Amino acid sequence: MSNLNVVPVSPHETAPRHVKLLILGSGPAGLAAALYAARAELAPVVISGTELGGQAALTFSIENYPGFPEGVGGAELGDLFQKQAERFGAQVEFDSAYNVDLSKRPFKVATDNGEIQADALIITTGASPIHLNIPGEQELTGKGVSYCGTCDGWFFKDKRVVVVGGGDSALEEGLFLTRYGSSVTLFHRRDSLRAGAVLQKRALEHPKMKFIWNTVLAEVVGNEKVEAVRTKNVQTGEESLFHTDGVFIFVGHTPNTKMFEGQLEMENGYIKVDDHMNTSVAGVYAAGEAADPHFRQVITSAGMGAAAAIEATHFLERETG
Ligand SMILES: Cc1cc2nc3c(=O)[nH]c(=O)nc-3n(C[C@H](O)[C@H](O)[C@H](O)COP(=O)(O)OP(=O)(O)OC[C@H]3O[C@@H](n4cnc5c(N)ncnc54)[C@H](O)[C@@H]3O)c2cc1C
């Protein structure tokens, strides 16, 4: 977790309080929404969740966010987002939401610290890459283990890279990684790929890509950075050590949207929004990876957050003056 500053909230606070605009999530989408809403003088409250700064704060360096020609640390970028929003009156609280009632306004949100009622709500709870849950994976995340080729590929120029997965994301990101890596070796637990035919053909014919079938990762090995992976053939049980500099894991993504099921329209777990970030409930907006299975970048998530805040501002002007 990053060490961003947060406003402490008493754990014993139970009486519901009322805010104009509540934002769930403190990743790029939530903090960009907070900045825009704060500048519209809505005094937004941001419920941070357990990952202050969001997924972006997990990565060592972000080099594709405009305005930082030398790149910026992921946690530092989250900190800057937060400070900028707070400068205009946003309040970031270290707290998590676990239940919502969106059936009527004010919307009710149950958090670990009590109930909050809000005239408008922006959901930016993001998504989490599915992890393999093997030894070394968590410890070496950001030190060679990554869940985003577009983000981290550049760091692996002329290095050996391993990709895990057999779907579209694994192949798309694997092909992207061939621009940088000296070799891209894909490990798949089955003997055939799930990805689309065109993508499969391109990947299978690519001179830099190699495929190891029927094999799973059992461990990521390394001290300060990834040095190898221990693999296991699922048919023979044979274990091997495979030397690599990077491990890119693409075995799926789960949007953090479970608590909205049955209350908002969704598609494959992602909250459905129109191009103004409206959800199926008036006054409830969603932005960033909670609503976007496609782009999954800091800049696109922040852009969606800003758009949601602009729309929420108009909504509140219409509804409450
Ligand atoms: C290792 C890694 C490296 C990356 N590198 C880059 C990069 O270089 N460039 C780039 O553009 N993108 C990168 N990405 C992708 C980028 O981080 C995401 O696209 C972006 O963070 C999504 O922003 P978001 O605000 O939609 O969601 P998230 O960043 O996922 O934030 C979600 C927020 O919601 C909060 N939350 C979740 N559940 C609850 C709850 N119940 N109550 C309250 N809050 C909740 C979390 O605590 C978190 O603050 C990377 C991702 C990873 C994992």
Determine if ligand 1 sits within 6 Å of the CB of residue 316: no
**How far apart are the CA of 77 and the centre of ligand 1, in A?**
12
pLDDT in tens, 165-174: 999 889 988 9
Average pLDDT over residues 144-159: 92
Protein residue closest via CA to atom 48 of ligand 1: 54
- Residue 321 above 70 pLDDT? no
Share of the chain above pLDDT 70, in %: 95
| Smallest CA separation from ligand 1 atom 5, residue | 151
Whether pLDDT at 3 is above 90: no
Q: What is the CA radius of gyration of the chain?
A: 21
Q: Locate the DSSP E strands across 169-296.
A: 183-187, 209-212, 215-221, 228-233, 239-243, 246-249, 253-255, 266-267, 270-271, 284-286
Q: What is the pLDDT of residue 177?
A: 95
Cβ neighbours of residue 251 under 8 Å, at least 6 residues apart? 130, 132, 164, 165, 170
pLDDT at site 56: 87
Compute, in angstroms, the gap from residue 26 CA to the centroid of ligand 1.
8
Atom of ligand 1 nearest to the CA of 296: 19
* Spacing, Cα 183 to ligand 1 middle (Å): 28
Share of residues in the chain with pLDDT > 90 (%): 83
- Mean pLDDT for 25-39 is 98
Grade residue 148 by pLDDT with cuts at 50, 70 and 90. confident
Answer yes or no: is the C-beta of 94 below 6 A from any ligand 1 atom: no
Residues carrying an active site annotation: 148, 151-152
Mean per-residue pLDDT, 100-125:
97
pLDDT score of 180 more than 90: yes
The closest alpha carbon to 242, from 163, 150, 157, 175, belongs to 163
Query: Given ligand 1 and candidates 22, 151, 169, 270, which is best to mutate, with the most ligand atoms within 8 Å of its CB?
Result: 151
Q: If you average pLDDT over every residue of the chain, what do you get?
A: 93
pLDDT digits (tens, 9 = 90+) for 230-244: 999 999 999 999 999
Give the residue, out of 60, 298, 299, 304, with the most ligand 1 atoms within 8 A of its beta carbon, to mutate for a pocket test.
298
Tokens of 318: 């219409």
CA of 114 to the centre of ligand 1 (A): 24
Q: Is the pTM of this model over 0.75?
A: yes
Spatial separation of the C-alpha atoms in residues 179 and 172, rounded to whole Å: 12
pLDDT at residue 8, rounded to an integer: 52
Question: In the structure, what pLDDT confidence band is assigned to residue 1 with cuts at 50, 70 and 90?
Answer: very low
Q: For ligand 1, what atom is nearest to the CA of residue 32? A: 25
Confidence band, pLDDT 50/70/90 cuts, at residue 5? low
List Cβ neighbours of 258 (8 Å cut-off, separation of 6 or more): none
Cβ contacts of 10 within 8 Å, gap of 6 or more: 113
pLDDT digits (tens, 9 = 90+) for 255-289: 999 999 999 999 999 999 999 999 999 999 999 99
Q: Check pocket membership of 30 for ligand 1, CB cut-off 6 A.
A: yes
Rounded to whole angstroms, the Cα distance separating 131 from 137 reads: 8
